C-alpha cells in the first residue's frame, strides 16, 4: 500500500481554503492509503511565536482535523516534536545540503525579507531540510502539497538522491501529489490574494461562530455590475464566491449562473452562508464534543505508531552514516 505523508503547521485555525485545498483530499486518501498526518510544531517555531499559543494551536488543529473526518483508525495523526528521529535525520541531511541551495528557496527569501528588522533565524534556512527529514524518515511515496511547497519537495527528492549516493540506497524518492482539480480559494476581502490566516477579514474559519461566518460572507468584496457570472479576470470577487458555492453544493458553474440569473449578490451570499453552515454542521457538532484529553490520547497513539516506523529507519541510518 502506498504511504502518504503530509504536514500542517499549527499556526492558526482551519479555514475553508485549507479544507478544500488539502483536507478534503486527505479524507479520501485515508481510505485507500497509509496516511501519516503530522502536526508540524517544530516548523511553527521557525518564526516568532508564543509558547502557550503554540501548545493551544496543536490541540486546536488536531481537534479540527478529527472533527472534519480524519479518522485515527485510518490515519496516523501525530506531533512532529514527538518523534526525535526527524531531528537526527534533519542533521544528517543538513550536512549534505549546500548553504547556497537553501538560500535560494523562495520561502527562505520571503521570510528573510519579512523579518529583515529583527533578523531571521537559521531555523528558517533549515526549514526545508527538516521537511525533507519528515518525509524521508517514513519512506513516504506521496506527499500532498500546495504549489508553494513544490520547491521544498524538489529539495527533499534531491537530498534523498544525494544521501543514497553517498551512503548507499536508503530512501525512496518521494513524489509530490498535486490535485489538478483543486481551485484556489481567494480571500473574501481581497480576491487577488489566496485565502489565508494572515488576512483574517477575508478568511472563513470553519469553526467560527455562525455570526462571524455570516458577517464575513456578507462583507466580501464584489463589483458594481450586479451580474452573477463567472469571470475571474473581470469579476474576481463574484467568481470566488461562485467557486465556493460550487464546492459547497457540487453544482456546476453553469448551473449556478442559471440559479442566480436576475438575482442580487446578496442572494448568492445568503445561499453561501446557509450551505456553509449545512455543509459543516456535523463537523461542528463533533468539534463541540471532542475533549482535550481525547485529542491528547489520539496524539499519543499516533506517536507510538509513527515512532516505530521512524526508529526502525533511524537505526539503519545510524549504521550507514557511521555512528553505530
Closer of 145 and 248 to ligand TRP (Cβ): 145
Q: C-alpha grid cell for residue 184?
A: 484556489
Closer residue to ligand TRP in complex, CB, 137/217? 137
The least CB distance from residue 75 to ligand TRP, in Å, is 14
Compute how many other C-beta atoms are within 10 angstroms of the C-beta atom of residue 59.
16
Alpha-carbon distance of 292 to 247, in angstroms, equals 31
Nearer to ligand TRP among residue 90 and residue 298 (C-beta): 90
Which of 3, 4, 9, 138 is in the footprint of ligand TRP by CB under 6 A? 9
**7 counts as binding ligand TRP under rule CB under 6 A:** yes
User: C-beta of 109: minimal distance to ligand TRP in Å?
Assistant: 15
Q: Which of residues 85-104 bind ligand TRP (CB under 6 A)?
A: none
Nearer to ligand TRP, 6 or 57 (CB): 6
List strand residue ranges (DSSP E) for the chain, in order: 3-8, 34-39, 75-79, 142-144, 175-177
Within 8 A by CB and 6+ apart from 216, the residues are: 188, 201, 202, 203, 204, 208
Q: How many CB atoms lie within 10 A of CB 140?
A: 23
Query: Of residues 102-161, which lie at the interface with ligand TRP (CB under 6 A)?
Result: 131, 134-135, 143, 145, 149
Q: Which string of x and - marks every residue 43-82 that binds ligand TRP (by CB under 6 A)?
A: x---------------------------------------
Give the three cell numbers for residue 257: 449562473
Q: What separation in angstroms does the CA of 136 have from each of 92, 99, 169, 294?
A: 12, 20, 12, 29
Residue of this chain nearest to ligand TRP (CB atom): 7
Residue carrying C-alpha cell 479520501: 28
Q: Which residue lies nearer to ligand TRP by CB, 34 or 134?
A: 134
Return phi, psi of residue 77, to 5°. -105, 125
8-state DSSP, 194: B
* Cell output for 27: 479524507
Q: x/- binding map, residues 164-203, to ligand TRP, per CB under 6 A?
A: ----------------------------------------
Q: Rg (Cα) of the chain, in Å, rounded?
A: 21
Name the residue nearer to ligand TRP (CB basis): 38 or 268.
Answer: 38
Which positions from 249 through 278 interact with ligand TRP, judged by CB under 6 A?
none
With respect to ligand TRP, which residue has the nearer C-beta, 129 or 238?
129
What is the distance between the alpha carbons of residues 202 and 148, in angstroms, rounded to a whole number? 20
Q: Is position 222 an interface residue for ligand TRP (rule: CB under 6 A)?
A: no
The secondary structure of 76-126, three-state, reads: EEEEHHHCCHHHHHHHHHHCCCCHHHHHCCHHHHHHHHHCCCCCCCHHHHH
Rounded to a whole number of angstroms, the minimum distance from the CB of residue 60 to ligand TRP is 17
Non-local (6+) Cβ contacts of 236 within 8 A are: 186, 191, 192
Considering the complex, state which of residue 83 and residue 241 has its C-beta at the smaller distance from ligand TRP.
83
Binding to ligand TRP, residues 10-49 (CB under 6 A): 40, 43
| Total residues in contact with ligand TRP, by rule CB under 6 A | 12
From candidates 3, 6, 160, 302, binder to ligand TRP by CB under 6 A: 6
| Residue ranges binding ligand TRP (CB under 6 A) | 5-7, 9, 40, 43, 131, 134-135, 143, 145, 149
Amino acid at each position: 500500500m502506498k504511504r502518504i505523508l503530509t504536514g500542517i503547521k499549527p499556526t492558526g485555525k482551519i479555514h475553508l481554503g485549507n479544507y478544500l485545498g488539502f483536507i478534503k483530499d486527505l479524507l479520501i486518501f485515508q481510505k485507500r492509503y497509509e496516511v501519516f498526518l503530522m502536526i508540524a510544531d517544530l516548523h511553527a517555531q521557525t518564526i516568532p511565536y508564543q509558547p502557550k499559543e503554540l501548545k493551544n494551536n496543536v490541540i486546536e488543529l488536531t481537534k479540527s482535523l478529527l472533527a472534519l473526518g480524519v479518522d485515527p483508525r485510518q490515519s496516523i495523526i501525530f506531533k512532529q516534536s514527538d518523534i526525535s528521529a526527524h531531528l537526527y535525520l534533519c542533521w544528517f541531511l543538513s550536512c549534505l545540503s549546500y548553504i547556497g541551495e537553501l538560500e535560494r528557496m523562495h520561502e527562505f527569501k520571503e521570510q528573510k525579507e519579512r523579518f529583515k528588522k529583527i533578523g531571521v533565524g537559521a531555523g528558517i534556512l533549515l526549514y526545508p531540510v527538516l521537511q525533507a527529514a519528515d518525509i524521508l524518515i517514513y519512506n513516504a511515496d506521496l506527499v500532498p502539497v500546495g504549489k508553494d511547497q513544490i520547491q521544498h519537495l524538489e529539495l527533499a527528492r534531491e537530498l534523498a538522491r544525494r544521501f543514497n549516493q553517498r551512503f548507499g540506497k536508503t530512501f525512496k524518492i518521494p513524489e509530490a501529489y498535486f490535485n489538478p482539480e483543486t481551485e484556489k480559494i481567494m480571500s473574501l476581502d481581497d480576491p487577488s490574494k489566496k485565502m489565508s490566516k494572515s488576512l483574517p477579514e477575508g478568511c472563513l474559519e470553519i469553526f467560527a461562530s455562525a455570526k462571524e461566518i455570516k458577517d464575513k460572507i456578507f462583507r466580501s468584496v464584489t463589483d458594481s455590475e450586479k451580474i452573477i457570472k463567472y469571470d475571474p479576470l473581470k469579476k474576481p470577487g463574484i467568481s470566488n464566491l461562485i467557486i465556493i458555492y460550487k464546492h459547497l453544493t457540487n453544482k456546476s458553474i453553469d448551473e449556478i449562473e442559471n440559479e442566480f440569473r436576475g438575482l442580487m449578490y446578496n442572494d448568492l451570499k445568503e445561499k453561501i452562508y446557509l450551505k456553509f453552515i449545512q455543509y459543516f454542521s456535523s463537523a461542528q457538532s463533533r468539534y463541540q464534543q471532542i475533549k482535550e484529553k481525547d485529542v491528547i490520547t489520539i496524539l499519543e497513539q499516533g506517536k507510538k505508531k509513527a515512532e516505530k516506523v521512524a526508529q526502525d529507519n533511524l537505526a539503519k541510518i545510524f549504521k550507514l552514516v557511521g555512528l553505530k
